[in-house]
Amino acid sequence: MTLFEISLIIAITIISLGILLAIIRLIMGPFLPDRVTAFDLISANVIAIIAIFAVLSGSYQYFDVAVLLSLIIFFGAVSFTYHMNKVIKKRNEKLDEQLEESEYKDKLFQ
């Protein structure tokens, strides 16, 4: 084992510890955006691990996986926020209806 391989293994260890920390945030994150961000960070770390593993194993076909992952992650975040925006819009419309009803009731009871 050369010095270069040892340094690569150290780098993989650091990044794996980072994934562990991000998983803790993924579990305890108080809101959905926290979880989406934690997942983003995890996938960035996975990209880095795959790229380093391509060097360690000496076969650079693994590099294509990193290219694909870096594309897919973005679509994941975008679809999550699309869903969130839909839910928020529905909630706001419901709130508007409730406000209108309550004003109407106030006028009735006066």
Partner 1 sequence: MDLFIEIISSILILIGAGFMGIASIGMLRLPDFYIRMSAITKAATLGTGLIILGIVIYFNDLVIAGKGFVIFTFTILTSPVAAHIISRAATRKGVPFWGKTDVKEFEGYLKKYRRVELEKEDIY
Which residues sit at the interface with partner 1, rule CB under 8 A?
Answer: 2-4, 7-8, 10-12, 14-15, 17-19, 21-22, 24-25, 31-34, 36-38, 40-41, 44-45, 47-48, 51-52, 54-55, 60, 63-64, 66-67, 70-71, 73-74, 77-78, 80-81, 84-85, 87-88, 91-92, 95
User: What's the rounded Cα separation, in Å, for the pair 88 and 106?
Assistant: 27
User: What's the rounded Cα separation, in Å, for the pair 56 and 64?
Assistant: 15
Q: Which is nearer to partner 1, 74 or 104 (CB)?
A: 74
| CB-based contact 4:13 (threshold 8 Å) | no
Q: Which is nearer to partner 1, 19 or 110 (CB)?
A: 19
In the three-class reduction of DSSP (H, G, I as helix; E, B as strand; rest coil), residue 15 is classed as helix
Residue whose tokens read 């992952």: 69
Shortest distance, position 29 Cβ to partner 1, whole Å: 8
